[in-house]
Structure 1
């Protein structure tokens, strides 16, 4: 992508309404624009990152055996009345009436809709286990939306819903998602810590939040450092044989958010040198809620014993748009965003320090063409701008690596290679630079 043809409205000053670093940098880097209270338009740079995150989430859900569908944003109130949640959910649910005065709502979650889909088509235990998921925009009418996409009213979520014939099988589905979540966040360059959580209005008896550690995190967390340092299950995890050991070795360690924290238990179970008190951001939440929805909505299956029984369910959410803000909170410096490779809007950049200089233009075009041919998603800053402005923009938007080409360097047969993550700058030939950037692909 040539920056002269791209839409990137960066800001020099931080807007006064932005109180946390992710909101500040998303506005300054031209990733989002506020359209209404807690509602944002996603501009091209932000949308590219959002799609990268969404694709990783989708790939890991597919790998864990979940099947994608798409449910509507507007739902009939009658389904929620059937489950008993319509009045109980609270004012965060946006209730509306259509032109026929039918009660509708803008879905904050999808347990009722997916249960209705399930009961319409599934009759036998032979059709189980089943896990259905979608990635869809949601709306919750927050009384005080704040912190940009971290606490907005409209947001992109991945919701998965598992269906099993028994409590034992339902827990197996829960553990499968538990491991899939750890791998999902690890692929994004994040270290996510699973913590036992309250089930809240979703219901059930088993729930975990996934917290990424960040100095600017919204919640206090307390955990065993052994858990934080544990590697993810890995992409070669066998969901059939390796599942339970992977979960057990993580859930045996103490980990809690401030709301669930038990100081005496923390001190009793965790050696002092391993006690970690930090800040964190919730980016995922999973629930095992049994028959909470299947019983009132009569989502039954025939068991192997020949009797009808309500199906056992779980739900599994990842805040896709919230994750983008969380990654920035965990990955930034005073100059701007530092994107992990897999979610970066562009994997590399080519910076022309003197646009219009024949030698610089030719070298940049050569580098851009070769990076593009290698599938390395380059952003070419071909604007007629001052070098300082170009370099500042590069640092602000957080491209992982860049080749910087100027007339002085070319006379000496070298270009600069910048690594945003570790903050290094190296001089080398253009061919060596291209080899260095594409070597890991």
Structure 2
């Protein structure tokens, strides 16, 4: 390809609306353009990288015996209603009606649709099956941001396994986990596998693949000592045992007209935050519920959703709270409450001589013995783990870091096959529900994650496996006949040798061309210029290091092949 004929609209300055490095650089380097919030056009350079990403994913899925499908993106509401997700998906689902007034959805994911195809399976002899596709997904994100990181329209590689039993699912899950490790290694994404919540997907277990990055929207909790790692929505930590004082015979009321927060009660009344019971009121599927945590701990709402299975969760409104408890937030407690369900975080179990609200405005209680004074319906893990807390496995302090979720795999079990009636005949002839797994990678997000981890002050530094072109041949002086002739010869020779080459033949200054090649991130640059040719050489520059060798034009093909081999990952060279 000739740069002069290709649409690569590079920008000199950073776009004002772009914050994340991948957003800024993909715009500047002419890979993407925004149509509206959350919707991006991929330009020629972008589509080339996207195709490389898809090719690597497809290669690894084919390697584990997966079969490629292509399913519709517009779905009838009835299938989603059967699984209960028409309601539970909420406002993120794009919904529409056709001319016959039928309810339809733009697919957020394809569990339901693949499961309807699995209904044609009839015998255990047809299992296991692994099916996958690359298809557009639509999610009505309330706040699209960071370029391709959080959008409303994107390509997902989603695959689905169908097995006879749990052992089969474990095998399919392990195949995908290993395939994902190879995929991200080949893409150049330093992904780590962490325990994760199953969320709206449901199922018994899930693993996320997280790329550490300061622009990530997720928090990973990990142990430097033993390697334990989990999303903050799933992470747990050990807490030191607490030796509470003997409480009084019953809770004691005291006035707190100036204390409506944990901090104010601690500062004004000697109630340390770790000795307070924080009482939150939530609406869980239309049922008001008291949620109790230690005063210095924060609720993780996903843990609350996972613990209760509630599809709709929101904090109760002030009027709902007053109607139920007779007080406003800041003076709430669970002592003596019997008419509402009470969930308590495990960190409160066994605590005594605690402080909490009295359900009277401006009044609190001291000397609360939780086992004696509060009717806890369920003890569950609700709190968000913090950095520095002891690891449950080895006791060393945990660390946290921001990360980008680049892949997620789920053990779904029979949630979808049960709802949609998918069974096969087992070896004993009895109908048996098929067991499913679901496995996703966002293609454009993976592309952005590569840029987040491979860039410098001059632009993108693509790994060879996904670079739009492997080599840029730059004619430093396009108006020089000898420079032009040698550039054309090298372009032809490298192309004939099977390399992906772009020839920068534009009538631009050499400095402009060099800046564009660096910005776009081509791994190797072969520069042909008057001074070099006068000495009988051209220059070979490695984008990642800036190292330049002077080589004879006749040696360029071999030098490029050697450099590309050195830059390729061990997985790519297998």
1:211 paired residue number:
210
- Aligned with 2:453 (options 324, 330, 340): 330
Query: Residues 24-63 of structure 1: CA distance to partner in whole angstroms, max 9, x if unpaired?
Result: 0111011111112100111100010001001111111110
More off after superposition, 185-194 vs 53-62: 185-194
Provide the secondary structure at the position in 2 that maps to 1:86: helix
Aligned 8 A contact 1:335 1:395 in 2: yes
Q: How does 1:34-113 map to 2 (within 5 A)?
A: 34-113=34-113
CA 276–375 in structure 1, closer or farther in 2 if over 3 Å, else same:
farther
- Aligned with 1:269 (options 393, 404, 409): 393
**Cα drift, residue 271 of structure 1:** 7.9
Q: How does 1:27-426 map to 2 (within 5 A)?
A: 27-119=27-119, 121-224=120-223, 253-264=227-238, 267=391, 269=393, 277-426=400-549
**Cα drift, residue 220 of structure 1:** 3.1
Aligned 8 A contact 1:331 1:339 in 2: yes
Provide the secondary structure at the position in 2 that maps to 1:417: strand
Give the Cα–Cα distance (whole angstroms) in 1 for the partners of residues 431 and 153 of structure 2: 39
Query: Residues 190-228 of structure 1: CA distance to partner in whole angstroms, max 9, x if unpaired?
Result: 2221000000000011100001223443333233458xx
Aligned 8 A contact 1:217 1:329 in 2: no
More off after superposition, 420-429 vs 121-130: 420-429
Aligned 8 A contact 1:346 1:378 in 2: yes
**Cα drift, residue 171 of structure 1:** 1.2
1:22 paired residue number:
22
Give the Cα–Cα distance (whole angstroms) in 1 for the partners of residues 470 and 394 of structure 2: 41
Q: Name the Cα RMSD after superposition.
A: 1.7
Give the Cα–Cα distance (whole angstroms) in 1 for the partners of residues 236 and 418 of structure 2: 34
Aligned 8 A contact 1:353 1:386 in 2: yes
**Cα drift, residue 426 of structure 1:** 1.8
**Cα drift, residue 75 of structure 1:** 0.7
Aligned 8 A contact 1:115 1:299 in 2: yes
Aligned 8 A contact 1:69 1:134 in 2: yes
Give the Cα–Cα distance (whole angstroms) in 2 for the partners of residues 262 and 147 of structure 1: 29
Provide the secondary structure at the position in 1 that maps to 2:203: coil
CA 271–362 in structure 1, closer or farther in 2 if over 3 Å, else same:
farther
Provide the secondary structure at the position in 1 that maps to 2:113: helix
**Cα drift, residue 423 of structure 1:** 2.2
Provide the secondary structure at the position in 2 that maps to 1:260: coil
Give the Cα–Cα distance (whole angstroms) in 2 for the partners of residues 108 and 76 of structure 1: 13
CA 166–268 in structure 1, closer or farther in 2 if over 3 Å, else same:
closer
Aligned 8 A contact 2:497 2:557 in 1: no
CA 87–218 in structure 1, closer or farther in 2 if over 3 Å, else same:
closer
Normalising by structure 1, we get a TM-score of 0.91
Structure with greater helix share of residues: 1
**Cα drift, residue 328 of structure 1:** 0.4
Provide the secondary structure at the position in 1 that maps to 2:133: strand
List alignment gaps of at least 5 residues for structure 2: 239-388, 566-574
Normalising by structure 2, we get a TM-score of 0.70
Aligned residue pairs total 414
Provide the secondary structure at the position in 2 that maps to 1:204: coil
Aligned 8 A contact 1:374 1:438 in 2: no
Provide the secondary structure at the position in 1 that maps to 2:96: strand
CA 420–271 in structure 1, closer or farther in 2 if over 3 Å, else same:
farther
Aligned 8 A contact 1:215 1:330 in 2: no
Query: Residues 56-98 of structure 1: CA distance to partner in whole angstroms, max 9, x if unpaired?
Result: 1111111011110100011111110111111111110000001
More off after superposition, 261-270 vs 167-176: 261-270
Aligned 8 A contact 1:142 1:153 in 2: yes
List alignment gaps of at least 5 residues for structure 1: 227-251
1:237 paired residue number:
none
Give the Cα–Cα distance (whole angstroms) in 2 for the partners of residues 430 and 223 of structure 1: 51
**Cα drift, residue 17 of structure 1:** 1.1
Aligned 8 A contact 1:222 1:257 in 2: yes
**For the pair shown, which has the larger CA radius of gyration, 1 or 2?**
2
Give the Cα–Cα distance (whole angstroms) in 1 for the partners of residues 533 and 201 of structure 2: 61
Query: Residues 347-406 of structure 1: CA distance to partner in whole angstroms, max 9, x if unpaired?
Result: 111011100201101110111001111111001100000111100000000000110111
